[in-house]
A and B are shown apart, each in its own frame.
Chain A
Amino acid sequence: MDALPTIWFIAIAALWIGYLLLEGFDLGVGMHMLFTARTDTERRVMLNSIGPVWDGNEVWLITAGAATFAAFPLWYASLFSSLYLPLTIVLVGLIFRAVAIEYRGKGTSVRWTGAWDRSIGVGSLIVAFGIGAALALTTTGLPINANGDRVGGAFAWFTGYAVLGGFAVVGFCLVHGAVFLALKTDGTVRQKANRFVTRWAPIALLPIVGWVLAVQFTSGRLSCLLLIAGAVVAVSWAWISARRGSEGKAFLGLSIFLVLGAASIFANVFPVLLPSTIDSAFSLTTSNAASGSYTLSVMTVVTAIGLPLVLVYQGWTYWVFRKRISDTNIPAAHTVVDAVRT
Chain B
Amino acid sequence: MDALDIARWQFGITTVYHFLLVPLTLGLGPTLVIMQTMWVRTGNERYLRMVKFWGKLYLINFILGVATGLVQEFQFGMAWSEYSRFVGDVFGAPLAMEGLLAFFFESTFLGLWIFGWNRLPKRIHLACLWIAVAGSWVSAFFIIVANSWMQHPVGVALQNGRPVMNDIWAVLTNNTALLAYSHTIFGSLAVAGGFLLGIAWYHLWQRRRDGIDTVDADKRVIVGEAREIVGRDKADHRVWITSLRIGAVVAIVGFAAVAVTGDMQAKLMFEQQPMKMAAAEAACQTGTSFSVLTIGDVGATQNCDNVVGVIEIPGLLSFLATGTFDTQVKGVNDLLPEYQAKYGTTIPDSPVYGAQAGQSIQYVPVMQVTYWGFRLMIGFGILAAFAALVALWLTRKGTVPESKWLMRLAVFGILAPFAANAAGWVFTEMGRQPFVVAPNPTGIDGVFMFTQAAVSPGVSLGELLFSVITLTVVYAALLVVEVRLLFKYARAGVAAAAPELFEHDHDGDPGAGPGHDADGDRSGDVLAFAY
Taking Cβ atoms with an 8 Å cutoff, the residues of A that contact B are: 44, 47-48, 51-56, 58-59, 61-63, 65-74, 76-85, 87-88, 91-92, 94-96, 98-99, 101-106, 144-145, 147-151, 153-154, 291-292, 294-295, 298-299, 302-303, 306-307, 310, 313-314, 317, 320-321, 323-325, 328-331, 334, 336-341
Contacts and interface: CB of A to CB of B under 8 A. Distances in A.
A84 B459 contact: yes
Contacts, number: 292
8 contacts: A44-B530, A52-B114, A81-B81, A99-B478, A102-B62, A149-B458, A150-B458, A341-B229
A341 B207 CA distance: 9
B519 A331 contact: yes
Contacts of A331: 519, 522, 527, 530
Interface string B501-527: 000000000000000000101111011
A39 to B, nearest CB: 15
A338 B206 CA distance: 10
Contacts of A67: 92, 96, 99-100
Nearest to B105: A313
Contacts of B474: 92, 95-96
Interface in B218-242: 226, 228-232
B100 A307 contact: yes
A306 B108 CA distance: 14
A58 B519 contact: no
A76 B63 contact: no
Given A81-B458, A339-B232, A295 B206 contact: no
Contacts of B68: 95
Given A80-B77, A98-B63, A150-B458, A62 B466 contact: no
Contact of A313 (B59, B108, B521): B108
B344 interface: no
Given A317-B112, A330-B530, A310 B100 contact: yes
Nearest to A53: B111
B208 to A, nearest CB: 11
B362 to A, nearest CB: 26
Given A91-B71, A310-B104, A339 B458 contact: no
Contact of B104 (A99, A314, A324, A330): A314
A317 B111 contact: yes
A133 to B, nearest CB: 15
Contacts of A145: 458
A72 to B, nearest CB: 8
A59 B110 CA distance: 13
A51 B526 CA distance: 12
B11 interface: no
Interface stretch (B158-166, B180-188, B435-443): B158-166
A292 B530 contact: no
Contact of B96 (A54, A299, A317, A340): A299
A338 B104 contact: no
A298 B2 CA distance: 39
Nearest to A61: B70
Closest 10 CB pairs of A and B: A73-B88, A80-B77, A70-B92, A149-B458, A63-B99, A69-B92, A56-B108, A306-B100, A77-B81, A339-B493
Nearest to A325: B526
B462 interface: yes
Contacts of A339: 203, 206, 229-232, 491-493, 495
Contacts of B464: 84
B317 interface: no
B491 A73 contact: no
A48 B87 CA distance: 41
A72 B89 CA distance: 8
Given A291-B89, A338-B492, A55 B110 contact: yes
B74 interface: yes
Interface string B77-105: 11101101101111111011111110111
B448 interface: no
Contact of A295 (B62, B77, B164, B530): B164
A82 to B, nearest CB: 7
Interface of B: 59-60, 62-64, 66-71, 73-74, 76-79, 81-82, 84-85, 87-93, 95-101, 103-105, 107-112, 114-116, 119-120, 159, 164-166, 168, 203, 206, 210-212, 226, 228-232, 456-460, 462-464, 466-467, 470-471, 474, 478, 481, 485, 488-489, 491-493, 495-496, 499, 519, 521-524, 526-527, 530-531
Contacts of B462: 154
Contacts of B59: 102
A148 B492 contact: no
B104 A56 contact: yes
B95 A294 contact: no
Nearest to B82: A77
Given A154-B462, A291-B92, 8 more contacts: A63-B100, A73-B88, A77-B77, A87-B78, A92-B471, A330-B530, A334-B499, A341-B212
Nearest to A301: B168
Given A307-B100, A339-B232, A106 B489 contact: yes
Contact of B97 (A54, A95, A302): A302
Contact of B531 (A48, A78, A84): A48
A77 B78 CA distance: 7
A310 B99 CA distance: 11
Nearest to A292: B164
Nearest to B89: A291
Given A56-B108, A95-B70, A336-B492, A341 B226 contact: yes
Nearest to B62: A102
A88 B111 CA distance: 27
Contacts of A65: 73-74, 77
B84 A340 contact: no
Contacts of A59: 99, 103-104, 107-108
Contact of A77 (B84, B93, B110, B164): B84
B521 A328 contact: yes
A239 B164 CA distance: 50
B58 to A, nearest CB: 11
Given A321-B115, A325-B526, A337-B492, A74 B88 contact: yes
Contacts of A94: 67, 70
A145 B457 CA distance: 11
Given A307-B100, A313-B108, A341-B226, A320 B91 contact: no
Contacts of A92: 470-471, 474
Given A59-B103, A292-B159, A88 B467 contact: yes
Contact of B115 (A52, A104, A149): A52
Given A67-B99, A307-B100, A55 B77 contact: no
Contacts of A76: 76-77, 84, 88, 92
Contacts of B98: 66
